[in-house]
Amino acid sequence: MSEHKPLILVTNDDGITSHGIRTLANLMTQLGNVMVVAPNSPQSGMGHAITIAHPLRLYPTDIFPDFPAYECSGTPADCVKLAKNHILKDRKPDLVVSGINHGSNTSISVLYSGTMSAAIEAAIEGIPAIGFSLNDFSRQADFSHTEAHILAIARNVLEHGMAKGVALNVNFPAKQPEPLKGIKICRQADAKWQEVFDERRDPHGRRYFWLAGEFVNFDPHAEDTDEYALAHNYTSVVPCKYDLTAYDTIKEMQDWHL
Amino acid sequence: MSEHKPLILVTNDDGITSHGIRTLANLMTQLGNVMVVAPNSPQSGMGHAITIAHPLRLYPTDIFPDFPAYECSGTPADCVKLAKNHILKDRKPDLVVSGINHGSNTSISVLYSGTMSAAIEAAIEGIPAIGFSLNDFSRQADFSHTEAHILAIARNVLEHGMAKGVALNVNFPAKQPEPLKGIKICRQADAKWQEVFDERRDPHGRRYFWLAGEFVNFDPHAEDTDEYALAHNYTSVVPCKYDLTAYDTIKEMQDWHL
């Protein structure tokens, strides 16, 4: 690897064989030296899980002809930890990118997102980081319309750096007949998943449930949210921080009798 | 169940047979009608994971003589979703409590904590919620010194409610010879885990890794953090919010060329 080029670590939560990570890693070769460390199986919905009750496996793989890659038995957050503290000991990446996720991670979904947890994990390590997600769950999703925005956002992060404790959550609309209208810096929409549990019986007569649900947006008319941007064919960028302290609530709690 | 008493849902991430959840559920009977819905196996480190790639199992259990309980094959966040949307359809809990975790969840550990994810999940559903954790990983940990504070904090939450989008992260010092000094409302300390991967070989000669590490506190002298409170034998209370938007960073990004 050339030492003067930025070192870019690429991971994801759909697993190392997904189209999204291949698209992202190939794009990043335009900006720097690429290394991939990604899960060996899908990790969607794993949130900020880490693997502490089981050992981790990590193997080099040659599925990418143009850059080194490793597959890991753990979660996206594990991948970032292993890359930084085991594989890359002597050199800190200049940028961590995660994705492109097959499926959006707007609004509240950031909490459940393995894609964004990898980016947050990098931010904890003081590395500028971006999670990219496409609002299309298909395994064969078309990522072609996202490429110019991915490069623009990654270039800006390499140039400006990121504020301490912050990572970017970038979401793209699914491919439309019209080109993307632009990039909007947004806040996380106030929304939630309204779950429905689909109850079934297995061949032995025992009940089981599939978690399913509908997305409910409490902010449908607010123009400054990620949901609004996506619904209007813009790319959304939400800067996310991992200091969860609700500072306003600290003040309100001074009245409590504790 | 009596209808005029508060309905209190109890969950955790150490699993339904742990001492911590039994202690917490028994305490809550002093404040209302208790229902337990908790994982059937340890879920430590699961963060805000949800189970979407596998079906969920949910069975009633009679391990608690004084209140109804269900064990679930999923994560703490799954338990809250199943309790609210499947078991309790007609009545929303008045309070969700999670814990008492065997091990602290201060500072950055809130991101990896299944205990706190259950509380955050409840906050998303508009239910006041508290995660309780003890700075003692032992399966036989002594929780006796925490009981008065648990009741005081839960009573205050039932009385005052919680701000929209906020849940409390409560941590207790391990039992000391001296009694607890009091309760401090705190912010999340700026800290991280410095991971070390313990590399071993299995009986087949293949490498594997255990995730291990040391906690590094970048805020050792700040008196307003949860870490400081615990180090000085106080109970810490951090109000946590799930809107991760870094609003200050949105302003700073106006200079970017996007």
**pLDDT digit string (tens) for A190-228?**
999 888 899 999 999 999 999 988 899 999 899 999 999
Give the pLDDT confidence score for residue A146 in this predicted structure. 98
Rounded to a whole number of angstroms, the distance from the CA of A93 to the nearest CA of chain B is 16
pLDDT class of B48 with cuts at 50, 70, 90 = confident
Rounded to a whole number of angstroms, the distance from the CA of B76 to the nearest CA of chain A is 12
Give the integer Cα–Cα distance in Å for A240 and A123.
10
Give the pLDDT confidence score for residue A93 in this predicted structure. 97
Give the single-character DSSP code of B179.
P
CA angle B214, A42, B48 (to 5 degrees): 50
Query: Does residue B161 come out as left (phi exceeding 0), alpha (psi in the -120 to 50 range) or beta?
Result: left
pLDDT class of B3 with cuts at 50, 70, 90 = low
pLDDT at A117 over 60: yes
| Average pLDDT score over residue span B40-65 | 89
Of B55, B240, B247, the CB nearest to A246: B240
pLDDT in tens, A6-15: 999 999 999 9
pLDDT class of A32 with cuts at 50, 70, 90 = very high
pLDDT at A89 over 90: no
Binding-site residues of B for a divalent metal cation? 13-14, 44, 101
Give the pLDDT confidence score for residue B4 in this predicted structure. 81
Interchain contact, B124 vs A192, CB within 8 Å: yes
Give the pLDDT confidence score for residue B2 in this predicted structure. 52
Binding-site residues of A for a divalent metal cation? 13-14, 44, 101
Q: Is residue A36 a contact partner of residue A68, using CB atoms and an 8 Å limit? A: yes
pLDDT at A1 over 70: no
Interchain contact, A163 vs B252, CB within 8 Å: yes
| Average pLDDT score over residue span B220-235 | 96
pLDDT at A160 over 80: yes
| Average pLDDT score over residue span A134-163 | 97
* Largest separation between any pair of C-alpha atoms in chain B: 63
Least confident of A16-25, A48-57, A117-126, A158-167: A48-57
Name A3's Cβ contacts closer than 8 Å, sequence gap at least 6.
none
At residue B214, what is the residue type? E
- Picking from A84, A85, A111 by the largest number of B CB atoms within 10 A of its own CB, the best residue to mutate is A111
CA angle A191, B112, B231 (to 5 degrees): 120
Give the pLDDT confidence score for residue B154 in this predicted structure. 98
Percent of chain B with pLDDT over 90: 85
Domains of chain B in start order, with CATH, are: 7-189+222-255 (3.40.1210.10)
| Average pLDDT score over residue span B81-94 | 93
DSSP chain A: --SSSPEEEEE-SS-TTSHHHHHHHHHHTTTSEEEEEEESS--TT-TT----SS-B-EEEE-S-TTS-EEEESS-HHHHHHHIIIIISTT---SEEEEEEEES---GGGGGT-HHHHHHHHHHHTT--EEEEEES---TT---GGGHHHHHHHHHHHHHH---TTEEEEEEEPPP-SSPP--EEE-BPPSEEEEEEEEEEE-TTS-EEEEEEEEEEES-TT-TTBHHHHHHTT-EEEEEEES--B-HHHHHHGGGS--
Quick count: other Cβ atoms within 10 Å of Cβ A5? 13
Give the single-character DSSP code of B108.
G
pLDDT at A3 over 80: no
ipTM: 0.93
Interchain contact, A244 vs B57, CB within 8 Å: no
**Residue A129 tokens, joined:** 């980081």
pLDDT at B117 over 70: yes
CA nearest to A257 within chain B:
B156
At residue B48, what is the residue type? H
What is the strand order of the sheet B166-172 is part of?
Answer: B58-61, B69-72, B33-39, B7-11, B95-102, B129-134, B166-172, B235-241, B183-185
Percent of chain A with pLDDT over 90: 86
**Residue A188 tokens, joined:** 């996380």
Rounded to a whole number of angstroms, the distance from the CA of B50 to the nearest CA of chain A is 5
- Among A184, A77, A65, A180, which Cα is nearest to A120's? A77
Taking all residues of chain A, what is their mean pLDDT, rounded to a whole number? 94
pLDDT in tens, B149-181: 999 999 999 999 999 999 999 999 999 999 999
List CB contacts (< 8 A) between B120 and chain A.
111
Give the integer Cα–Cα distance in Å for A140 and A81.
29
Of B152, B241, B249, the CB nearest to A163: B249
Name A207's Cβ contacts closer than 8 Å, sequence gap at least 6.
A199, A200, A201, B57, B58
> Which helix or strand (DSSP H or E) is residue B240 part of?
strand B235-241
Give the pLDDT confidence score for residue A227 in this predicted structure. 97
pLDDT class of B33 with cuts at 50, 70, 90 = very high
